[in-house]
Amino acid sequence: MNDSSAKQRLLALIREHALLEGGDFELAAGSRATVYVDLRRVSMHPEGASLIGAMLQEHLAGTGVVSVGGMATAAIPVVTAVVMASAAGDNPLRGFYVRDKAKTRGTQRQIEGQMQAGDRVALLEDTMTSGCSTMTAVEAVRAGGGEVAQVITVVDREQGSADLYAAEGIPFTALVTLGDITGG
């Protein structure tokens, strides 16, 4: 499937399974919206997970990224999809997720999974509004000795994420935007 047809199919799946319009939704960024994208309804759908994984794997090819991660819990299905998609290729990716703060029991880690010091990392998110939540992951990866090569979201609500990461000097990409989904 080429990039254009993959994007069109992803948009169709989002519209069919994840788009909620006409409500009053509080977003993680604290703002309110009348349109909500419940992307886990796509990232945990068989075709959706496969498509997202393939699109992200294609995007990451040749970048030198060796591990992918994101914030618990929303990014976990996205991370898992791309790790699985990469397994059959020449450069399989390792996955991890970042907690809001380190556990107080067990290993007491903030980063769980396969990130190692020195890794070139891509941070993933399902839906992003301001990008502030993923900055917690940026800080944790840097503290853990990783290099954040880029941030990628499946859906960008276009409310400041690109500007935030540009100011941080981190390349930012969205597979689709809220405008793509709603036609706005």
Across 144-171, b (16+ Cβ under 10 Å) vs e yields: bebebbbbbbbbbbebebbebbeeeebe
Across 40-77, b (16+ Cβ under 10 Å) vs e yields: bbbbbbeebbebbbbbbbebbeeeebbbbbbbeebbbb
Instruction: Look up residue 64 and give its two tokens.
Output: 């030198």
pLDDT tens digit string along 96-118? 999 988 666 766 789 999 999 99
Structure confidence at residue 8 (pLDDT):
97
Prior bond of 73 cis (ω within 30°): yes
- Residue in the structure block whose two tokens are 């400041």: 160
Structure confidence at residue 63 (pLDDT):
96
Q: Are 138 and 152 in contact (CB under 8 A)?
A: no
- Identity of the amino acid at 36: Y
Structure confidence at residue 79 (pLDDT):
98
Q: Output the DSSP codes for 22-53.
A: EEEEE-TTS-EEEEEE-THHHHTSHHHHHHHH
Instruction: Look up residue 122 and give its two tokens.
Output: 């891509």
Structure confidence at residue 4 (pLDDT):
86
**Can you name the CATH fold of 53-182?**
Rossmann fold (3.40.50)
Query: Can you say how many angstroms the Cα of residue 24 is from the centroid of all Cα atoms in its chain?
Result: 24
Residue ranges per domain, the chain? 53-182
Structure confidence at residue 101 (pLDDT):
80
Low-confidence ranges of the chain (pLDDT < 50): none
